Amino acid sequence: MDGENIQSDTGLGSDFDDDFDPYDFTDDPALPEDRFLDRELSWLAFNQRVLELGEDPDIPVLERANFLAIFASNLDEFFMVRVAGLKRRILTGLAVPTNVGRAPADVLSDISAAAHVLQARHAAAFQDLVRPALAVAGIDVVSWDSLHADEQESLRDYFAKQIFPVLMPLAVDPAHPFPYISGLSLNLAVRVRNPKTSKQEIARLKVPQMLPRFVRVDRSESVDKVRFITLEDLMANHLGDLFPGMDILEHHIFRVTRNEDVEIDEDETENLIQALEKELLRRRFGPPIRLEITEEMDDITLDLLVRELDITTQEVYRLPAPLDLGGLFDLSRIDRPDLHYPKHVPTTAVQLMPAEPNSAPDVFRSIKRGDILLHHPYESFATSVQAFLEQAAADPGVLAIKQTLYRTSGDSPIVEALIAAAESGKQVLALVEIKARFDEQANISWARKLEKAGVHVVYGIVGLKTHCKLALVVRKEGKELRHYSHIGTGNYNPKTSRIYEDLGLLTADDQVGKDLTRLFNELSGYAIEKKFKRLLVAPLHLRKGLLKRITDETANAAAGLPSGIRIKVNSMVDEAIIDALYRASQAGVPVDVWVRGICSLRPGVEGMSENIRVRSILGRYLEHSRIFSFHTLGDPQVFIGSADMMHRNLDRRVEALVRLTDPEHLQEIEGLFERAMDPRTSSWWLDSDGAWVRHARDDSGHLLDDMQNRLMQQIGNRKRSAARR
């Protein structure tokens, strides 16, 4: 899901491409036409895996509530981007066949059918599973009618003082046209009657998004037993205060999802920031693409909404209250440690631990001793990457800092370090990707703040998003300049670093430093680099580099030599890469694909992909790292970086992979794949029909190994062993 919330990458992450154009690759007649799985349905299958975590009674109940919220947020983004984009292309006649060759209208129909089933299952998971489990644990979501008179009186006082002044009822009549309904807002449609004229009217009442979604019933300080009422339920039972003198006949909850994708023709604009800000204003008024209503809504109200929103009946989702279960994020933050995953405190990487217990770590000295492979959140981002940049900002020997910023947090110490460095006279370059979806406005604000501090801010290359995660520090040591580099798989975001699983390399290798210097020059100026030594860079080199290595493994297997390919990504969609993996499998190459989200590859098909295994692991952390490992006749070539196997990453983004060379790092990566593919590890397995089957218990009913828990223990033990030494 990249982004400040786990759901934004889509949370457990979304990986939404920018368009539906198929990659122009050479078709192989030896491969069947039906060799790809539909990418949209594959994404929905991913979100179903998230939902299954919310349904799992073995997971702490507040974490289950969190997974239900993630599911809802993921689905919102899917509709706002993928479904909206598909619908727009159909209406404009620009739609092309999907990655499986089907008509877009047919795929849209399949998406709708699957989404209706999933949303109903999601609502049932809350009503029948999580809500009762919360109540047993002492956290009860109750209705107004179940409250005692004194409790209702207390809430009336709270409503009058804290909620009523914020509300804005809007009439719908000839003098008051149907109001604009903002995307993802929760609303009450209220039907009233004037007792003097018996005339009926309809009004709209928006549920304020800045107020708590769940209102505490008992105002005591107890945390072991608490009750909540939804804000919309509280509002619905005070409609008389908002429409005095009127008879309240009906009220129903509804919610609208709009097309909120952003499109900019960078070749036609002179000022990217100004164009983007105008487009962000337009985003608010995108056409509706989904209407969620409570199951008891009457036909009069529904007909009005469908007509005024110009929406089809297929786009109406009738669900039990409460709607918008993304609001469960609020409940999931309740301070009940017994109902959450056990607390995990990231450890400092052993190589970065100070020599003396009370001494300050010297990050540069540690990096100079050898490459450091970081694994977040098991190892601390604050004491590694953040410390690296903060020390660079304060070090008088540092002359320059260059960094990419795709997404970062609202109070980012990374940005503050860059500002401090610029204010102290250092050369600082920040490449800010202001087109990072749904973080555009925040990134514009950070870009302006950086510019005011004297940072050289650039926005990358026209037509390409800069998605790579790079930082380069140039430090004067004696008479020489030394490069210190960080290449990562995740954003420079201290908040998400605690919930996103990512890898990063800290290195003083001069070749990496020269590679990054060339790449930053390309990003900030007009240089066009043809070659890098330890990097694979998109869009010029990455696709070719990966295909060459897959082809080499294929040739080795065909010659009877050892071979092997192991890939970990968020999404596996690109047809050319998938076809190359099919050909590798046909030659006998064992191929392991570890994917979090979308997978269009069909494993286990006889004669095509019987040597390919696909696994997915979801859990308390969002699996976000990307790894590419090739056997290379016993001399493994292993890369980590920012790129997924999607058209956008390989062809329309600046991405970077760095090759790992330290034997211990190669062994560590091999260990990750061994554990992920082990049948004793809890995971989902993709079958040849496109179905994901969960393997969480063995044949005896015992829980299988949780890989993330095991890594926490393993990396924690590594630190304790180092401390004893």
Pairing of strands 565-569, 535-538: unpaired
Task: Report which of 381, 589, 410 is spatially closest to residue 489, judged by C-alpha positions.
Answer: 381
Q: What secondary structure does DSSP assign to 353-366, as a single string?
A: S-SSTTSPP-HHHH
Is 467 among the catalytic positions?
yes
- In the chain, count H helices and then E strands: 21, 27
Pairing of strands 637-641, 500-507: unpaired
Helix (H) or strand (E) holding 374: strand 372-376
- Tokens 């009549």, located at residue: 173
Task: Report which of 128, 98, 107, 120 is spatially closest to residue 48, judged by C-alpha positions.
Answer: 120
Question: Alpha carbon of 499 to those of 12, 16, 378: distances in Å?
Answer: 10, 20, 10
Q: Which amino acid is at 401?
A: I
| CA separation for the pair 122, 67 (Å, rounded) | 10
Q: 383 near 390, Cβ under 8 Å?
A: no
| CA separation for the pair 399, 118 (Å, rounded) | 54
Q: 87 near 310, Cβ under 8 Å?
A: no
Task: Report which of 58, 43, 55, 47 is spatially closest to residue 123, judged by C-alpha positions.
Answer: 55
Q: 474 near 485, Cβ under 8 Å?
A: no
Give the tokens for residue 367.
């990096």
Q: Which amino acid is at 62?
A: L
∠ CA 85-90-93, rounded to 5°: 120
Q: Of all residues in the chain, what percent are helix, strand and coil, respectively (each to 5)?
A: 40, 20, 35
- Tokens 């890369």, located at residue: 639
> Exposure of 587 by Cβ count < 10 A (0-12 exposed, 13-18 middle, 19+ buried)?
middle
Torsion of CA 131, 133, 137, 143, to 10 degrees: 20
Helix (H) or strand (E) holding 485: strand 480-488
Q: Quick one: CA dihedral 272, 74, 113, 577, positive or negative?
A: positive
Task: Report which of 712, 686, 703 is spatially closest to residue 56, judged by C-alpha positions.
Answer: 703
Q: 317 near 119, Cβ under 8 Å?
A: yes
* Catalytic-labelled residue, pool 467, 486, 624, 631: 467
Phi, psi of 422 (to 5 degrees): -65, -40
Residue 652 burial (CB count, 10 A): 19
- Tokens 């000839």, located at residue: 174
Give the tokens for residue 239.
């409609």
Q: What secondary structure does DSSP assign to 377-402, as a single string?
A: TTB-SIIIIIHHHHHHHH-TTEEEEE
| Chain centre to alpha carbon of residue 687 | 25
Helix (H) or strand (E) holding 429: strand 427-432
Q: 251 near 425, Cβ under 8 Å?
A: no
Give the tokens for residue 50.
């998230």
What single-letter DSSP state applies at residue 161? Answer: I
Q: List active site positions.
A: 467
